[in-house]
Amino acid sequence: MNIARRGVVLDTSCVVCHRLFEDGGHLFFRCKGVKPLWRGLQIEDIRMQLMECQGPIHVLECILKLPYEKKMMIVALLWAWWSERNKTNHNESRLSTDEFIFLIKRSTDEWLRFSKPPTKSSTTSTPRWTCPSAEIIKINTDGAFLEETRDRFSYIEAGFVVPIFRSVKVGSSIS
Taking only the tens place, the pLDDT of each residue in 34-59 is 999 999 999 999 999 999 999 899 99
Amino acid at position 143, single letter: G
Query: What is d(CA 131, CA 134) in angstroms, rounded to the nearest whole number?
Result: 9
Query: What is d(CA 77, CA 69) in angstroms, rounded to the nearest whole number?
Result: 12
Residues 6+ apart with CB under 8 A from 79: 107
Cβ neighbours, 10 Å, residue 84:
20
> Rg for the chain (alpha carbons), in Å?
29
The predicted model scores a pTM of: 0.60
Per-residue pLDDT tens over the stretch 113-142:
888 766 666 666 778 877 777 777 776 666
Per-residue pLDDT tens over the stretch 61-107:
999 999 999 999 999 999 999 888 888 888 888 889 999 999 999 99
∠ Cα 77 53 106 (to 5°): 10
**Domain spans of the chain?**
2-114, 140-173
